[in-house]
Amino acid sequence: MDIMDNRYFDFLFGRVSKAAALLRAGFLGAGTAAAQSLNWDGQTGVFITPLAYTAASPSNNFGRPIVAYHFLNAGSVLGNFHTVSVTEGIAGRVEFGYTRDLHQEGSTAGLSPLWGSGFNVVHAKVNLVKENAGKQAWLPALSAGFVVRTQDRNVSGLLATPNKSYTNADFYAVASKTITQTKPVPIVLNLGYKATNASVYGLAGNAPAYKGRLFGAVAFVFTGPAKSTIIFGSEFSQEPRTVQNLPGADVPTTITYAARIVPLAERKFNIDFGVAQAAGTIEPGVNLKARHQFALGVSYGL
């Protein structure tokens, strides 16, 4: 782990009082609100990282689909990104889904054309251990899953000769725990490890090889007006430092700060607002200007 990553890891878990991020309403401890929020890739999760929880479903059948839309204003170089997702839960332990990434080109000559029109995302996750299983109040939920992105032409593909589409993937394990003893403000902790060859979730193309990376989140859950819930916190995701076909690139850890609003948990609807810190100057003379970018997400359980 490099110095930059260690610094962000310490910041996140040692000085969390200044953080703000996007966590799903299932953390409230109310069963009706469980597993209704999808992340950027379409998984049940935070804004970019997965959680150990899965999309709500009965123990012997399919659940109702969850749909989501996410938007990231990534700045004048990268442009705007949109994702549209649908995810299905099975038997209370499994989820799978599809997401389409859509891209609007930025306005910076020489750099913006390095991003393609979008790519496909397929994901699946299985819950291995339920939270508090066997009445062990300390036990977190434990899950494993994967994400596969295809037809990704961003940066790596458009710098290749000739241009080509790449496939990249994440294979991960994650633990999530809701601490209710801190009521009236429950705390949610999430920590995972992934092997990935994607650079910034495919938005910056591919890494030259698979790398082991940490990700995690922490959040505080507050009761809002009119039976609403407001969640504040932060998440981080270490990135492979290098980008395929872009020698000299040095990609920093991605962090989000924001808030999630759940108007009514039983409606399975929530809205996320936040700021994403993705990539700034990745090599001398190449500033992607994406370190303080607005992000929006909406999830709805049908």
Concatenating the DSSP letter of every residue in 8-58 gives: HHHHHHH-GGG------GGGGS-GGGTT--B-TTSSBBSSSSB-S------
The per-residue pLDDT for 285 is 63
Strands in the chain per DSSP E: 66-73, 80-90, 94-104, 118-129, 141-152, 166-179, 187-198, 206-223, 229-237, 254-262, 269-277, 279-283, 286-290, 293-301
82 touches 70 (CB < 8 A) = yes
The per-residue pLDDT for 26 is 38
Rounded to two decimals, the pTM is 0.85
What confidence tier does 284 reach under pLDDT thresholds 50, 70, 90? low
180 touches 259 (CB < 8 A) = no
- Of 25-29, 155-159, 205-209, which gets the smallest average pLDDT? 25-29
Is 184 exposed, middle or buried (CB count within 10 Å of its CB: 0-12, 13-18, 19+)?
exposed
**Residue predicted with more confidence, 158 or 14:** 158
The per-residue pLDDT for 141 is 96
The per-residue pLDDT for 280 is 66
Q: What is the mean pLDDT of residues 153-157?
A: 94
Nearest to 300 by CA among 24, 99, 97, 30: 24
What confidence tier does 184 reach under pLDDT thresholds 50, 70, 90? confident
Task: List Cβ neighbours of 247 (8 Å cut-off, separation of 6 or more).
Answer: none
- Does 19 have pLDDT greater than 70? no
Q: What is the mean pLDDT of residues 14-22?
A: 34
Residue whose token pair is 């295809």: 150
The per-residue pLDDT for 57 is 93
- Does 18 have pLDDT greater than 50? no
Task: List Cβ neighbours of 138 (8 Å cut-off, separation of 6 or more).
Answer: none
Give strand pairing partners of 174. Answer: 143, 192
Runs of H (alpha helix) within 34-82:
75-78
Q: What would the two tokens of residue 287 be? A: 């500033």
Alpha-carbon distance of 159 to 98, in angstroms, equals 27
Half-sphere exposure of 194 (CA within 13 A, CB side): 31
Alpha-carbon distance of 88 to 65, in angstroms, equals 5
